[in-house]
A and B are shown apart, each in its own frame.
Chain A
Amino acid sequence: MTSPYIIEMKNVSKIYGQHPAVDNISLDIYQGEFLSILGPSGCGKTTTLRMIAGFEYISKGTIMLDGKEASHVPPYQRPVNTVFQNYALFPHMTIFNNIAFGLKRKGMKKQEIKEEVDEMLETMGLEEHRDKYPTQLSGGQQQRVALARALINKPKVLLLDEPLAALDLKLRKKMQFELKRLHKQVGITFIFVTHDQEEALVLSDRIVVMREGEIEQVGTSEEIYKDPLTSYVAQFIGDANVLPTKKNNDGTVSALGYDFPVGKTEEDYHFIIRPEHIELHLSQNKNETDMYQAPITITEITYAGSKQIVEVECMDQTIYIHCSPEQTLSNANIGQKAMMMWKKEHHKILK
């Protein structure tokens, strides 16, 4: 029976001196999925990727690649290839030779290499750059060479270390689309490291959110967005209002005038709500509704094209509300009292 997983990491740690860069993570990665590892710099995401590639040996735990124990297999014997953050194209080789490098190491015949590389050049739209050197290419073109150079080896897993970070916004969007198409086309597992939550949401089948060397949450884009397990995840993915809560003696915490049961606990909880889940009502009256509501003071209104961002104050807390651009706020004044309302399934009380 074949395992549905191409990579299985069990209790993996990477310790530099005293400090664990990756702290006891376990992660199973499916055959053929697009998995993003998301987190701020220093969260251990790149170290995790480098352990899969074999550039860093793991300090503790085990890592299985394609059903085989791989903890001490050197990078050149692993069925994975990497697209590096700075592309790491060989500056002394032509584009053709860059892409052919992996095939040459496999000892393939010259004619076969030529055919395969030329085919890959065509797939990636790089035919005209065949005999150029990397420095003669634009960032986007270098990016495609890096992808071609990795994919031509038909790896079981493609590792991508923030490959879009160096591109400008427009090109980045285009490459995101191309990556997704490429992933469908080749059908192998992509593991994509990024600090850009939007990129992760757009591209991934599943997202791993990391924080300080540990995995905070694993789930689909939708799960991570709609159902964050911690206030850290909520804050990191999309926009979120994260408010402190006050602990009460009866096992509840209060925020915005309401009490929420959490049970007896020592830990601090946060009240979390996304700006697009709040409705703004310009009347000051309490409405007859089963929605939560709280009195607010408008402090700023910003028109941002696809939405209006309203900054309000509620019980000494600053809260952001996203309103649709159609909602008429032209008669709203700065300093005006109003009401905000939200459905009870939309807020979260999280650690």
Chain B
Amino acid sequence: MIKIIETVVSVSEFYIRKLKPIYMEYTAIRNERTQLLNYLWEFQDKNGYISTSDIRKLSKELGISWIEIEGVISFYHFFRRKPTGKYTVYLNNGMVSEIKGFQKIKEAFEKETGAIFGETDPTGTFSLFETSCIGLSDQEPAALINFMPFVNLTPKKVKEIVSHLKKGGDVAEIKDEVKDYVRYKNDKGESVLFREYKEGDSILKLVKKQPQEVIQEIKDSGLTGRGGAFFPTGLKWEFARHSQSMQKYVICNADEGEPGTFKDRVLLNQMPGLVLEGMITAGYAIGATKGFIYLRAEYRFLKKKVEDTIKHFYNIGLLGENILGKNFDFDISVVMGAGAYVCGEETSLIESMEGKRGGPRTKVYFPVERGFLDKPTLVNNVETLCVAARVMEFGSEVFSKKGIEDSQGTKLLSISGDCKKPGIYEIEWGMTIEEMLDLCGADDVNYIQFNGFAGTIRTKDDLHHIISGVEMGNKYNPYIRGGGSVMIFNSKRDVFDILTNFSNFFIAESCGLCTPCRAGNYLIGKRLEKIKNGEATYEEIEEIKSWGKVLRDTSRCGLGKTSTNFIVEAIDKFPELFKEKGLKEKSFDLSAALNDYYDYVKNN
């Protein structure tokens, strides 16, 4: 029997007892609504789900309607409205997981636990769910059990895990230590990020400079947004600095949801201090006193480490009031996401931090003008902030002298899939795809997905392409923008399986706010299924390109705009595959359409 423990304390008591510590950390914010996600997490963790009575209580306390809270809960896929088992398993169903044996692991979990995916077993012990990429692509198949990582799963390992848990064992006892495979960095010892971390060094240099000088240094370095949008960081900081407001915020975007990307996980695990120093640098430069790390729920296992580092920074005077005696105050706290890819988009992230559904805002203002709680807000990626700290520490040339003329610096690539050495590669711009494949030990390459599912495709014909931070060049000297993730698939992988997996991801992760992304991705998914089954005409295949254009032109945010790149490019990159699948004339399977009828009349 499932034992449901109802919370018996009143919500106000509950807040005081359980939530006060969190609440105190947000001293700068007296807006309770922003706490909604934290409250929901408290309920979710305590009972394994959020009950109707929890919602009623919250509704009364916060003065927002019940339906609004339901709306927020149903947006995030880690929040549950039905009781879950003692152990919740979230198994990654991304494409890299699929090629590493997802299906077998899924079956093993179902067999061992007696539950089926999407549900809880009859004893109320295990709940199994699939989830989008959890940032462990270098050690797939991977799952989160009670948000603790389990990697390189095999059916045997699943059996052992489940039997341990069935005996009432502790998840923490058997969880895996996630390894950070930093496979490549500049061999002359000139790595930007992976050199020795000396605590506080960048801050010591920082406080000797005027904020405007800091911004100039960042500009000189040529640093651009490492999340993949490549917006010039110095310029963004300058906009934020010039926004007039008593209160400004710095947000570190650690919602690394792009499938195949795991560099931020490695940075947060290896050098949480460097991330904090980057945030302090940004805060100092733009005149903000409050910083947040928006950590994706999938990385909850890193939360303690990050928070411990924050505490340590307070203790040694790198955070808090009057940092290093320079009359500069800065606070940092961690905010947890709850499972939504779109929250990596900066305005969605801000909406989520305000305790709302994480839908992208209409871009009337940039976040640097009006962001979190309508105050100027600087949102930067983890890697961007780390590089910024390094630039402070070693000067702009540490970055600007690297790379190629048109594109300066280095970039972390998260490489996964069919290669011998999946992991993090800090490459200098200017490397060719071929060199990269040599480094990671990929000899059979058919399909390379750059920059996540929303990125771009390269094939074995494109090995001479130069990886850089710009999109330009010509036929003889083509550049490819290397946003972060590289997924390699060999010739044994069915391209249509890959495309279907990507399509399913966008259908699951579209927030639903705008028509083209919500309906368009779903319609494209249906069409892709038809193509895969060999039921579409060649015209219908080509038609997808024009559908893709509609999504690109009219979607509300980057998710929708880029969500059809993969399929549109695939049609051009693999023409012979699609030609094989496409029909010359419309065909209609009459007998399949009559099946329901015959089944029924036969049985009656």
Are chains A and B native binding partners rather than an unrelated pairing?
A: no
**B residues in contact (CB < 8 Å) with A:** none
**A residues in contact (CB < 8 Å) with B:** none
